[in-house]
Structure 1
Amino acid sequence: MNPDPAPPVALVVDDEPVTRLMVKRALEKLGCAPVLDAPDGIAAQKILRERPDVALVLTDIMMPRMDGLELLRWGREAVPDAMWIVLSGLETFDSAVTAIRLGAFDFLPKSPHSEEMAVAVRNALERRHLLAERERLHGELQRKVRQLEETSEVLRRDLERAEVIQRALLPRSPPPMEGYCIQAVYRPGQHVGGDLYDVVRLGERHLAFYLADATGHGVTSAMLSVLFKQRLVLVDPATGIALPPAEVLAAVNRSICEAHAAPGLFLTAVFGLLDTGESSLTLASAGHPPVLHAREGRPTRLIRRTGPALGLAQDAQFGEERMQLLAGDRILLYTDGLLPSGSERELDLLQQVLERPLASAQEVMTDLHRQAPADADRDDVTILLIDAHAGASWFDNGAETPASDARGALRAGDEVVFYGETDHAAYVGLRGRATWMHCDAFHETALTVLDGGRRLVLDLSGCEYLDSTCLGTVHELVARGGVSLAGVAPAVRGLFEELSMQQVLDAIRDDLPAAPEMHPLGTASDHAAPQERILRAHEALSALSERNREEFKDVVESLRSEQGGPA
C-alpha cells in the first residue's frame, strides 16, 4: 500500500483518548510508523514543528483550545507536504466540507471502520507520493530547462563570435580601380551564413572577384565557404600571373572534393577576371545563378553556369565566357537568396531594376525584397555590382544590422550616410543625427572620391546634428582640399562656429546645384576602426583652439591610452 521507501510518519489529533487510541492502532496496522498523537490543536502544532516529516494527519474538528479547522489552516502552510484527513461526526458534517475546501484530502466518520480507513489512508499516501513525484519531475524539468537555456546561450555567443570571424573574411574596402566602381551588399540569413565574396587587385591591370554560396544554412555552410576561400588560388605560384577563371574553379573544386566526402555538401560560385587594360571580363560559373550584363540600348544578357557546382565531382570541367565592357556597362552577381524561387519572373524583375539609371546594390536588394512574400524563409543574400564608369566604390557587410532582421539596414528612415553623383561632382550626404557609428562609411567613401581626383560635395541638407567625431571627420576632409559643403542648417553651422571650424565655414557654398538622387550606404566597420576614427577626429578638433584642446583632452588621452600610444 505504501509507496514511500520508509514507513510514513502519522499524527492523530483528537480530544477523546479512546478514539485517539483506536485510530492510532489502525494506522500502525496499515504500516505507518511512528504514529504520534495529540489531544488538541495546540499540542499538534508543537509536534508538527518538531516533526516536519509527518506525512499524514488525522484530526477531529471539535476540540478544546484549537479546533481542527484552525489547525488545518495553520498546517497547510506550516507542513505543506502532509496529507490531512478529517474525522467528523454528523453534527460537524458541514465543517468537514469546509475542511475539504481548505485543503483536506478526505473526511471519515468518527470511529471509522478499518476498511474505510484503509482506503482513505492508502489514497492519501498515494496522492502524497504523486504530488512529490510531480514536484520532483517539475524540479528536474526546470533544471533541464536551465541547462538548455545555458547551452543555448553558449551556442548563441558562439554563433555571434562565429559571425564576427566570418565577417573578418569579407573584404572591408574595395581596391582602387580607375574607371570602374564596385558596390557590394552582404546580409546573412542567420548569425552565420554560407555566402562569401571578395574583390582582389592582381598586378597593375587585373581585378579578380568571386561570389560563392554554400548549400544549406548556418555553421555548416559557413565552414564550407571558409574551406572554399582557404583553397582558392588566384595566381600561378611560379609566375605570379593571374590564373584564368575556369582553371581557378577547377582547382578549387578538386581541392574541396579531396578535403570532404560528405554527401549533400556543395557550393555554387562565380569567378571573374577583369582586365582593365583591355576592358574585358572573363567569367566562369560553377552552378551559380545567372550573371547579368546590362548595356544601355540593348537587352540585358544572362551569363549562365559554365560548369557544375563545386564539391560534386572531382573531375568536373568548367568553361568560360569572355566579353568586352563598354563605358556604362553593369555586371551584377548575386546569391540565390536574392531570388527566392529563381523564376523567370524574378529574373525579369531583376533586369528591370538593374536597367534603371544609378541603381545601387542596396536599391536592387530593397526593390526585390519588397516583392518577396513576407513569410518567405530568409536565406543569405549577397549582391556584387560592377559599373564600368568612374565613381565611389563601397562594401556594406551589414555589421550594424540585427541578426533577427537581415533587411533592417534597408528600411526607409534608418539610413544616415548617402551617396550620389553628377557629371561634375560626387555627393556624400548625412541625414538625421550623424554619430561616430556612421563615420567610417562616411570617411572612406569621401576619401575614395578625393583619391580619384573628383570634386566632393558634402550635402548636409537633411542633417540635424553631428557629434564631435563627425565634426572632426568633416574638418579632416575639408582640410584635404577639393571639398564643398551644401545645405548646412543654422544649428549645424552653429556647431562649426562653436568649435572654431573656420576652414569648414569657408567651404560652405550656397550657389551649388541641388543634390542628385542619393542612395543609402551601409555603416559597416570592424570594432577597432571606430576607435581610431574617433581618436583622429578629436585630435583634429583639439588642434583648432585652446578651448577645444581642453574640452577634448580626456577623450584624446583615453583613446590614446587604449591604443597603446603616448597620452
Structure 2
Amino acid sequence: MNLNPVPQVALVVDDEPVTRLMVKMTLESLGCTPVLEAADGVAAQAVLRAHPEVALVLTDIMMPRMDGLELLRWGRQAFPDIMWIVLSGLETLDSALAAIRLGAFDFLPKSPRSEEMEVAVRNALERRQLLAERERLHRELQRKVRELEETSQLLRRDLERAEVIQRALLPRSPPPMEGYCIHTVYRPGQHVGGDLYDVVRLGEQHLAFYLADATGHGVTSAMLSVLFKQRLVLVDPATGLALPPAQVLAAVNRSICETHAAPGLFLTAVFGLLDTSDASLTLASAGHPPVLHARDGQETRLIRRTGPALGLAPDAHFRQERLELLAGDRILLYTDGLLPSGSERELELLQQVLARPLSSAQEMMAHLHGEAPAGADRDDVTILLIDAHAGASWFDNGAEDPVVETSIAPQPEKEVVFYGESGSAAYLALRGRANWMQCNVFHETAKAVLDAGRPMVLDLAACEYMDSTWLGTVHELVARGGLVLAGVTPAVRALFEELSMQQVLAAIRDDIPAAPELYALGAVGDEAGAQMRILRAHEALSTLSERNREEFKDVVESLRGEQDGST
C-alpha cells in the first residue's frame, strides 16, 4: 500500500534486531523507502542528523544509552515535522500519556499486529501531509497578503497622486469681479471624486461658471470629469464672444459621446453665463439637480434641468433660461452629494438654509452634509454660491485654507514686495499675488525714489495677480513719470487692458536689464494709511473709463464715507 506518490523515509529505533527487522519489513510493505535503522537513541540522533528527510520514526521506549521518551523529547525540538509512533513492551498508561504529552502521534504495543501498524502509519503520514499542506497554504496566504498590501499601498499612493492632479484642475482663486461675490466648497468622497467646477472671466462683461458631477466614484468618474473640462469650449473661436450656455452643453455632449461609448458613463452639469452689463444670468442644466434663485421677500425659484445628462445621446437638445439678478439675490448650485435622497423635503430644507442672512457655502455644507464617519463611502459634494452684492470671494477646495479674492479685505500673504538698486535705477519687484495689505509700503518706497529724481523699474516677471488697489496705485505712479514696467506676464497685462490702463501699457519695456539682488519689504501696519491708499487707488481707476467709474463707484463712496466719519 503506497500512501504517497513520493516514498516516505522512515526510521526504526529498537535495541532488539528481530523487532527492528519485523517493523522495517512492515513499513516497506506500506510504501516507506528507505527504512533506516538505529539500535538506541544516541544512534538515532546521528541517523536523523544525517537524514533530515526522515518523515516517520517508530521507536521503542526502553533502550540503553538514551530511551525512547528522551529521544522523542529531543526529536520534537530538532525535527518538528517528523511524525513519531512509540512502541513499548510495557503497556502502561503512564508511558502512553508521557509519549503523547511529548508529541507522539500514536502509541502501539511492541510487536504490533500489521493491521494496527498500517492504520497508525497511514494516519501519521496523512497527518504529516495535512500539516505540510496547511503550512504551504499558510505561506501562500502570507505571500498573497503581502502582495495585496503592496498593491494596496501602490493604489493608495496612485489615488493620492490622482487627487493632487485633480485638485490642480480646480480653480485656485476667484477672478476679479465687482458687485458680486462667489463662495465655493469642494469635498471629494474618497480621495478622488467626480465633481468639478470653475469660474472664468470672459472679456469685460461676462463671467462664466459651471458645476459638473460624473457618475460613480473613484478614478473612472474623475477621468470623465477631466474629459468634460478638456472638451469644454466657452468662447466662439471665430468671434471671441462668449457662447450661450445651451450651445456650450450641446457641443461638449457631442464631443463626449464621440469620445467614449461605454454604457453607464455619464455626467450631469449646469453652466451659467453672467452678464455684468445688465445683471442678467443665463443658465442651462444637463440632468443636474435644481439651481436655486433666492430673492429677499419672495419664494425661492428652482431652475430644473433643461436637457439630459451628458454622454447619453449625441443629438441631445438643451434649453436655457434667463434670469435677472437684483442686488441681494443669491444663486446656489450644488452636486447631488449634498442632498442624499434629492427629495422635496431636502429641497425645502436647502431653501430655508439659503434664506438665512449671510449663510455661507461652508455653513450650508455643515448643516446639510455634515461630516461623514471615518471610512464611510460618502459621495462627492460641491457647492457654488453667487451673491449679487460686493464682498469677498473665496474658493474652499478642502486641501488648504480657502483662497480669498477681494479688493477690501484679503487674507495676509507671504512677502510680496522686494527692493534693490543697480547703478542706473532702483528696482521694485512683485512676487506671487499682490493685495492691498502690501500696497502701502510699495507706494511709499516708489514715491520716495521718484521724489529723489531716480528712475524706477517695476519688475512683474514673478507677479501672478494684482488686486484693484495695486492696479490703481501702479497707474498713479506711472502717471507721475519715471516708472517703467518689465517682465509683465499675460495675466497681469490682461488686467491692465481690462481696466483701460493705457498709460501703464505704454510704460511696459522689453529691454530692461535683469533685476539686481533684492530684499523683501515688510507690509506697513498703518490701517488709516492703508484705507486712504485703497481710496486713492480706486479714485485713480475710476477716471480711466465710464465702465471703471460704475464698477468702483460703491467702493469709492463707501471709503469716502469712512474717511469723512473718521475726521
TM over 0.5: yes
Distance of 2:144 and 2:183 partners within structure 1: 48
- Check conservation: 1:182, 1:394, Cα contact below 8 A: yes
Partner of 1:555: none
TM-score (norm 2): 0.72
In structure 2, what residue type is equivalent to 1:172? Answer: R
Q: Secondary structure at the match of 1:36?
A: strand
Alignment of 1:20-419 (within 5 A): 20-370=20-370, 377-400=377-400
Note the C-alpha offset of 1:92.
3.9
Tell me, yes or no, if the aligned pair for 2:394 and 2:403 is still in contact at 8 Å: no
In 1, the alpha carbon distance for the partners of 2:131 and 2:82 equals 11
CA distance in 1 between counterparts of 2:432 and 2:323 reads 29
Tell me the distance in 1 between the aligned counterparts of 2:346 and 2:436: 34
- SS of structure 1 residue aligned to 2:299: strand
Secondary structure of 1:323's counterpart equals strand
Corresponding residue SS for 1:299? coil
Secondary structure in 1 matching 2:136: helix
CA gap 1:449/1:264 in 2 versus in 1, 3 angstroms = farther
User: In structure 1, how many angstroms separate the alpha carbons of the residues matched to 2:353 and 2:338?
Assistant: 13
5+ residue gaps in structure 1?
Answer: 401-415, 437-443, 454-476, 481-500, 510-567
Which secondary structure does the structure 2 equivalent of 1:179 belong to? coil
RMSD: 3.4
The CA deviation at 1:417 is 7.9
CA contact (8 A) 1:60 1:86 kept: yes
Q: Helix, strand or coil for the counterpart of 2:357?
A: coil
Q: Distance in 2 between matches of 1:158 and 1:285?
A: 33
Deviation, structure 1 residue 452: 12
Change beyond 3 A, Cα 1:133–1:327: same
Bigger Cα displacement from structure 2, 63-72 vs 221-230 = 63-72
Rounded to whole Å, the distance in 1 between the matches of 2:296 and 2:375 is: 36
Q: Return the letter of the residue paired with 2:163.
A: E
Cα shift at 1:446: 9.9
What letter is aligned with 1:164?
A: V
CA offsets per residue over residues 107-150 of structure 1, 9 Å max, x none?
11111011111111111111111111111122222222222222
TM-score (norm 1): 0.72
Give the distance between the partners of 2:204 and 2:35, measured in 1 at CA.
98
2-side partners of 1:448 and 1:325: how far apart? 28
- Look up the SS of the partner of 2:140 in the other structure: helix
Distance in 2 (CA, whole Å) between partners of 1:503 and 1:262 is 56
Match of 2:31, SS state, is coil
Q: Residues of 2 paired with 1:114 and 1:346: CA distance?
A: 82
Q: Distance in 2 between matches of 1:260 and 1:24?
A: 74
Cα pair 1:20 1:37 within 8 Å, conserved: yes
Partners of 2:267 and 2:345 lie apart in 1 by 25
In 2, Cα distance between equivalents of 1:357 and 1:161: 39
Select between 351-360 and 263-272 the one with higher mean Cα deviation.
351-360
**Offset of residue 350 of structure 1:** 1.0
Residues 393 and 405 in structure 2, CA contact (< 8 A), matched pair in contact too? no
Q: Is the 8 A contact 1:394 1:445 kept in 2?
A: no
CA gap of 1:505–1:310, structure 2 versus 1, over 3 A, is closer
Q: Provide the rounded CA distance (Å) in 2 between the counterparts of 1:277 and 1:244.
A: 16
Instruction: State the one-letter code of the partner of 1:277.
Output: S
Give yes or no for contact 1:417–1:429 (8 Å, CA) kept in 2.
no
Check conservation: 2:206, 2:275, Cα contact below 8 A: yes
In structure 1, distance between residues paired with 2:290 and 2:432: 29
**2 CA distance for matches of 1:248 and 1:263?**
23
| Distance in 2, Cα, partners of 1:264 & 1:417 | 34
CA contact (8 A) 2:172 2:403 kept: no
User: Is the CA contact 2:175–2:405 (under 8 Å) kept in the aligned structure 1?
Assistant: no
- Counterparts of 1:316 and 1:117 in 2: how far apart (Å)? 83
**C-alpha distance 3-291 of structure 1, shift in aligned 2 (>3 A):** farther
User: CA shift at 1:502, angstroms?
Assistant: 9.5
In structure 2, relative to structure 1, the CA distance for the partners of 1:48 and 1:141 (3 Å cut) is same
- Runs (4 or more) in structure 1 with deviation over 3 Å come to 1-5, 90-93, 370-377, 416-421, 424-430, 444-453, 501-509
How far apart are 1:89 and its partner, in Å? 2.7
Q: Is the Cα–Cα contact under 8 Å of residues 202 and 208 in structure 2 kept in the other structure?
A: yes
CA–CA distance in structure 2, aligned partners of residues 427 and 172 of structure 1 = 14
**What is the distance in 1 between the residues matched to 2:225 and 2:329?**
29
Q: SS where residue 129 of structure 1 aligns?
A: helix
Give the Cα separation in 1 of the matches to 2:122 and 2:528. 93
SS at structure 2 position matched to 1:21: helix
Whole-Å separation in 2 of the counterparts to 1:30 and 1:372: 66
Looking at structure 2, the residues matched to 22 and 138 of structure 1 have their Cα atoms a distance apart, in angstroms, of 38
Change in 2 beyond 3 A, CA 1:190/1:240:
same
Paired residues of 1:280 and 1:325 also in contact (CA < 8 A): yes
Which residue identity does 1:249 align to in structure 2?
L
The 1:154–1:204 alpha-carbon spacing in structure 2 relative to 1, beyond 3 Å, is same
Name the CA distance, whole Å, in 1 between partners of 2:336 and 2:156.
26
Rounded Cα–Cα distance in structure 2 between residues aligned with 1:204 and 1:506 = 34
2:3, 2:31 within 8 Å by CA — same for their partners in 1?
no
- DSSP 3-state at the match of 2:273: strand
Cα distance in 2 for partners of 1:345, 1:447 equals 45
Which range moved further: 15-24 or 299-308? 15-24
What SS does structure 1 have at the residue aligned with 2:369? helix
Per-residue deviation, 1:53: 0.4
**Residue 445 to residue 338, structure 1, CA distance change in 2 (3 Å):** farther
Shift of 1:399: 1.7
5+ unaligned residues in a row in structure 2: which ranges? 416-430, 441-466, 471-520, 530-567
Deviation at 1:4, TM superposition (A): 3.4
**C-alpha distance 275-312 of structure 1, shift in aligned 2 (>3 A):** same
**What code does the residue aligned with 2:298 have?**
R
Larger Rg belongs to = 2
Contact residue 190 and residue 377 of structure 2 kept, 8 A:
no
| 1:329 partner amino acid | D
CA distance in 1, matches of 2:121, 2:376: 60
Supply the distance in 2 between the matched residues of 1:394 and 1:261 (Cα, whole angstroms): 37
CA distance in 2, matches of 1:508, 1:12: 104
Secondary structure in 2 matching 1:95: helix
Please give the secondary structure, in 1, of the residue aligned with 2:305.
Answer: coil
Change (3 A) 1:393 1:418: closer
| C-alpha separation in 1, matches of 2:526 and 2:320 | 54
Residue 8 of structure 1 corresponds to: 8
2:115 partner SS: helix
Per the alignment, in what secondary structure is the counterpart of residue 342 of structure 1?
coil
